Each structure stands twice: as structure tokens, then as C-alpha cells.
Structure 1
Amino acid sequence: MYDSGLIFTAIMPIFFIITAGYLARRLGWLNEAADRSLMTVVVNLLYPAFIFSLVLGNDALRDPANIVLPPLIGLTSIVAAFGSIMLLARKLKIGDQRECRTFAFSTGIYNYGYFPIPIVALLFNRETTGVLLVYNVGIEIAMWSLGVGYILSANDPKPIWRRLLSGPVIAILIAVPLNWLRIDEQLPNFAFESIDLLGKCAIPLALLIIGATFADLAKGVRIFERLRIPVIAVIIRLGIFPVILIFFAFLFPFPTELKAVMVVQAAMPCGVFPIVLARQFDGSPEVALKVVLATTIVSFVTIPLWITFGMRLLDL
């Protein structure tokens, strides 16, 4: 059992590193030209290495339930969120059609990677963190197929299957079978040490880039206009959805590792990547930014509360 003080301590480094990225951009230490190459390295090298370091030798991922159920629940949670928020956005008249679609897309996706991973790693164990990474495959599928493919009306000519096969997804598809077959037991120690060192760089570097992205997008955006949009997003993402997902974890006899992942994911703010996708596709970057900034700031307070509540309810 953990108290909210420890959970608060777990999230402090996340916000500190994001703030450092924000300041680095404002001070000119991290320029925009570096973002694309650095993020490419994170997505295609460092994050896959991080996945391999947590999946190989992971006994929890030799349980079929922890391989099949996590991506299925991740997929279901996002699809249900997209549908319900789209209906609500239209009913509440969030904005025009483009703004409603962006609101549904941005609010529907919680931050499933760079926020929850360090929290799960600190509060639980290596096995649970590995289950989290498998869980995220379902979110990736929902985001690119339904989210980008239909809600944002993608104008990218690439087929959906090419979007789905990102570096992290490919790493999961390779690492899970290797772990299942215990191939990792045949690898030399220096291979694991190299993978581990690369993987440890992934989260801090990604958080720095997120902070720099916030600094870029905040320029010229009327943050304090149309406050109804961020307020409703906070109520939905940080008020209603945590109750639903935690109750769902309480109701069914899922593996303990999966329950822990669901509790942490339930507390997460909106993901940052939808801001980038709203700019690239037919969305409203301003709506996406307001939703993400508001839920990220408020989550500084709500994350410890929801995780504490969920862990006590589920006796984790």
C-alpha cells in the first residue's frame, strides 16, 4: 500500500523535466531544428530499447492473460472514449465540426507512454511496466485507425497499417514472442546492458521535447479565451473517466499487473501527441493545446488522488 505522498513524489520528476524542456527552448538551448531528429531517435531506437529491456525476461508476460487482455482493454477504453466524447461535444456545442472532432480526439486519448511509465516503474515493478507497454499497443491501434483515420479525417496518403507499424509497436511484436520462448536466456550480458543503457535515455529525452513543444505551441494561442473547452475536458478526462476505468478494474478478475496498469492509466491527463496530429491533419491545434495544457496542469493534483484511491480500492 502506498500513500499519496509517495505517488506525488513519483510524478514530480515528470513535471520537472517537462519544465526543463520548456525553459531550454525559451533560452535557446534546444532549437526546433533538433526536435525532429531527436524524436526520431527516441521513437525508433531509445524507446524500442526500453521496451526490450522491460519485456525480455518478464515472467508476467509469459501469462497469456497479460498478453491478450491489456491491448484489448487499451483499445476498448479509447474507442469508448472517442464515441462518447464526440456525442457530448456536439451536444454541448463545443465549436464547429472541426473543433468538435479535435476535442473528441484530444480528450479521448490519455497520456499512455511518457507519463505513466516512470510512475508504474516506481510504484510497482518491472513486470507491471512490461504489461503497461503491451497495453499501449491497443491504444496505438485505436489512435491511428479510428482516431486519425476517421475522427481527424486524415489527409496522410500512407495506409493505416504503415502508421500502426511504428518503432515501439514493432519492438513489442518482436520482444513478446522472444520472451515467451525464453530466447532472452541465450543472450550475453553485454547485450542486456547495452539495451538497458539506451532504454534509460528514452523517457527523459522525450519529456524534454514535450516541454519544448509546449513552449512553441503556447506562442500566440489565446489560452484564456473560450475557457469552456479546457474546463469540460478536465471534468471528462480527470473526473469522469478515472471512475469508469477504476471501477472496471474493480469489477473483473484481471491479473494484478493489469489492474495496476489500469489504475495508473485512469489517472493520466490527455496525451501530448494529439497536438502534433491536429496540426498535421485536419484538426484544430488551438483546441488540442487547450485540452492538453489544462488536463496536464490539473493532473499534477489529481494523479496522486486517483492512484491512491484506485490502489486502496483494489488492494494493490
Structure 2
Amino acid sequence: MNLTQVITIVSITAAVFTVMGIGGVARSLQWLSREADAGLLKLGIRILMPCFIFVKVVGNPAFETAANVYLPPVWGFLAVALGCFVAYFYARGSGARLGFDTPDKIHSFAVCIGIFNYGFIPIPLIQEIFGERALGVLFLHNVGVELGIWTIGVSLASGGLTKGWWKNVLNPPSVTIVISLLINEMGWADMVPTFITQITSILSTGAIPLMMLLIGATFYDQIFHAKVEADASSAWPTYISAVMLRLAFLPFLFLLAAIYLPISLELKQVAAIQAAMPAAVFPVVLTKHYGGDARTALRVVIASTVVGFVTIPIWISTGIAWLGLETTVLQQTPEEIIVAPQLEPVEAMKIVGISVRTNNRSEMNPETAQIPLLYDKYDQDQIDSLIVDPVSPGQRIAVYGDYESDQSGEFTILLGKQIGADADVPEALDKVRIHRGNYLHFVGEGEMPQVVLETWQKIWRHFEEDSTYSRSFEADFEIYDEASPNRVDIFIAVEE
């Protein structure tokens, strides 16, 4: 990963924990009273979060892939199961040596290690790092986590499944996910009334801030006002065990599974974030309710959350690197850099490669598009190996020339590399010459190849709205540099 991406991840993580910290401060100053918690929690769970989920899931293209419908909940359930069972056997095997001298402590430790923070910390992280497609998959993943909590988690905490456990899984967020997926499946996304979309959009904006403030307030209560039975044993064995399992061993296992199991790109993105998560706060309440050891639960949550502030960005960065997700990280670049082109002089260049004749109308249809096939052929035929001594080995250039008229007519695109002016052109390759002159330079940064189309759309709008320069339609070109895989530089020939 590059330094900018790492800084982005650290910044987003710090922002999430800061908002939680504000919730804790609000509790300490009595701005957010304990009496208000129940009402605000119901408001968040029953109204705001369902609206947020509805907005992010309905029409989300990630669910056009069948694997993104059935695999995420399976992954979420197995993640909870794996965490609980690893922690259970660890605590049981360690026994009194590490302070796990009663069944209540063993079960409470297992539940709290197994149930990671699956909601309000990862939601803003995934939204800012990977975007809407991965966020939609996260919600479906969380249905499986909920199922794991109310089956495996409750069984460990209480000694067996409780009556009516399934009602807890059928909560408003889960029901909203099912309804949203049904709307997608039936093709009704475009039929949702604008009035409904506007209401859900307005309400959805308050979901995450409210819930994060409540988490911060709850965490403050657990640290400073938790009522637990006296325990003279040292807390350090539990602290160290919690950090070792929740923040070291289990993240490694989760990422290893994501590497070798056949899962979708979006689920890999979810796994990269979820692997880094600390223990959730909710298991403290769960263990209290079912007669577990509240002090053990509290120690696990405190240790993993405090240390997690440091390890979360480390594991997310590691997960992105191990899973090959570097090019899917959203660029935190203002759009103004794309729509504020600069007029720059360009020296004459000789480009060799392979070409195809096409037009923009054909390229808008995946069935008739020729440019993606050109790029595939370039790689499959190893065209780079035929270009001897290129001027810039790390750069690939796509030249648009021989325009029939303007952007609505036919044109030829040549993909290749620059060679010296006097260099020979291999017989199997085509050539094109870019003339010396002034070109309007546009920059696009983001996920490939979508950012290329987005930048061209901005270029077309620019010339429609700004008459300072007119396109000459002589030859335009794109430069792709291996040093900046998420960037495209587009130079447009203009009349002087």
C-alpha cells in the first residue's frame, strides 16, 4: 500500500474512535443521560438503521452477483463460531493458570472473544475505504453474525439455546435487509417512490453518529461505573489473552481464510475490515443477562478496544495488502482536481502497439465494446515484450486518433508504449505519432477502470460548459504509470 492509503486508514480509524470518545465525554458531563439510552437505542435500531440499510442495499449492484447474497451471512456466522470455539478451548486448556478457574469465566471469555464489533465501527470504515458495494455486503454479513450471537453466543453464556432465540435475529435491521434484497430481486428498485427515498435518505444520515455516540457512552459506563463482583485475581492474564486472540491470532486466521476461499471481491473487502475488529461491547450485557462473569467480559472488551486503536489500522492495511485490494481503496482526492485541467506543452512522441477501430456508442455497451478486448489482447499477447527499449518502461499509453468527426464518430485507439523517434517499429505492431503542441491535461484518480470513464465524462462536460478551448480531434492520449496504479492522465488536443 502507498503512504496516502495508510494515512487515510489511520485517519478514518482515529475519526471513528474520536466520535466514540465524544459520546463518552457527553456521558461524563451528563449531556447524554443513562435514562435517554433506551429511547435513543430503540430509535436507532428500529428507525434510523433500517433507513440507512434500505438506502445502501436497494439498487446496490453488488447484489447482482449471487455469491454476494448467500456467502456473506455464512461467513459472518462462521466467523463468530470460529472465534467462540478457539477462545473456549484456549480458556479451558489454560484453566486456573490464567485465571479461568470457573465455567462462567471460560464461557464469558469465549463469548466476548468470538463476538467482534460487527456494526458501528466497521460501517464508517468500510464506507470510506471501499465504498457502497462493500457496505451493502457488510449488512448481509451481519445477519450471519446476529445468528451466531443468538445461537452459539447464547448457548455458551446460558448453557443452551433459550426459548424464542430466533425472535432476536428477526430484528428491524435484518428484516429490512430481507425486504431490500427482495426489492432488488424483483427489479423494483427504480419503482420506489421518490418520496420514500427522500425520507429514508434524511433519516439514514443520523444512524451512524447516534449509535457511535451511544457506544462511547456505554463504554464509559463499563469502565467507570460497571457494577461487578469483587475479584482479587490479576486482570493482566485476561488482558493479554484477549489481545493475543482477538487482535492477533483470529485476524490472521480470518485473512488466511479470505485468501484461500473462493469469495467475492466485496466479501474480501468486508473480511479485511472485520478481521481487525476488537470485541463488541454487547457481549458484556449478554453475559450479565445470562449469569456469566461480568468482570471477565469487561476485561476482554476494555483490552481489545484500547489496543485495537493501534492494531485496527495495522490489520486493515495488512488485509488490503494480503488480499490484493490496493486498487479497490477509494481515493480521498477532491473531485476538483479532475475538473480543473491545465494547458501543458507536449513534445512529439512516437507510440507503437496494437489498435482497434471503434466509437463511443459501441463502448457504452459491454456486448459491443472493443477497448476492453484490446486491453485483454495486449496482455495475453505480451505486447510489452515486443517493444524494445521503450522511452518509459513503466508507462503505458493509449492514443485516440484518426477521428471521423468528433466524439460521436469513429476513431482509432492504439495501446502501447513510447519509443525513440528513430527506433524501428516491429512488423507485428501499429504506430501513431503525437504531434508537438499544447494539450489540456486532465487527471483522474480512483478505482480502475471506472475512473477512466468517469474522467472522460467530465472531459465531455468540460468542453460543453467551457468555451475557452476547443478540441482539435487530432490525437488525444492517456498515460498509465505503474508507480500510480489508481491514476490516469488524459491529454486532450486543443485548437491554438
Q: Provide TM-score, normalisation by structure 2.
A: 0.61
Q: Matched residues in 2 for 1:109 and 1:122: separation?
A: 23
Q: Which residue of 1 aligns with 2:109?
A: 103
Whether 1:164 and 2:173 are equivalent positions in the alignment is no
- Pair 1:144-2:150 in alignment: yes
Q: Deviations over 1:265-310 (max 9, x none)?
A: 0011111111111222211222111111111111111111111111
Q: Does 1:203 align with 2:184?
A: no
1:39 to 41, 46, 70: 41
Q: Cα deviations across residues 17-66 of structure 1 (Å, max 9, x unaligned)? A: 11111111111111111001100111111111111011001011121100
1:29 aligns with 2:34: no
Whose strand proportion is higher, 1 or 2? Answer: 2
| Structure 1 residue 169: Cα displacement | 1.0
Whether the 8 Å contact between 1:155 and 1:282 is mirrored in structure 2 is no
Map residues 253-264 of structure 1 onto 2, 5 A cutoff. 253-264=262-273
Distance 2:172 2:162 in 1: 19
Q: Which moved more, 1:176-185 or 1:155-164?
A: 155-164
Deviates more, 1:52-61 or 1:278-287: 278-287
Question: How far off its partner does 1:95 sit?
Answer: 3.3
Q: Does 1:116 align with 2:122?
A: yes
**2:194 maps to which residue?**
189
Percent identity between the two aligned chains = 35
- Assess if the C-alpha contact under 8 Å between 1:155 and 1:281 holds in 2: no
- In structure 2, do the counterparts of structure 1 residues 49 and 158 end up closer, same or farther at CA, with 3 Å as the change threshold? farther
Q: Quote the residue 2:53 is aligned against.
A: 51
Greater Cα offset, 190-199 or 260-269: 190-199
**Take 1:255 and 1:67, find their aligned partners in 2: how far apart are those partners?**
10
Give the whole-Å Cα distance in 1 for the aligned partners of 2:160 and 2:320: 42
Structure 1 residues 122-179: Cα deviation after superposition (integer angstroms, max 9, x where no partner): 001111100010011111001001111x101179965111121111111111111112
Aligned residues: 315
CA contact under 8 A between 2:151 and 2:161: conserved in structure 1? no
After superposition, the Cα gap between the structure-2 partners of 1:157 and 1:257, relative to the gap in structure 1 and judged at 3 Å, is closer
Structure of higher RCO (CA pairs closer than 8 Å, 6+ residues apart): 1
Q: Contact (CA 8 Å) 1:156, 1:281: kept in 2 or not?
A: no
Deviation digits for residues 68-97 of structure 1 (CA, Å, limit 9, x no counterpart): 111111111111221121111111122311
Alignment pair present for 1:228 and 2:237: yes
1:218 counterpart SS class: helix
Q: Rg larger in 1 or in 2?
A: 2
Structure with bigger helix share is 1
Q: 1:97 to 1:315 in 2, by over 3 A?
A: same
Which whole-Å CA distance do the structure 2 matches of 1:156 and 1:85 have between them?
Answer: 19
1:177 pairs, out of 179, 182, 188, with: 182
Quote the residue 1:304 is aligned against.
Answer: 313
In structure 1, runs of 5+ residues without a counterpart are none
| Alpha-carbon contact 2:50-2:176 (below 8 Å) kept | yes
Aligned Cα root-mean-square deviation (Å): 1.8
Deviations 1:246-276 (A, max 9, x none): 1111112311101000111001111111111
Uncovered stretches (5+) of structure 2, i.e. residues with no partner:
326-496
The one-letter code matched in structure 2 to 1:266 is A
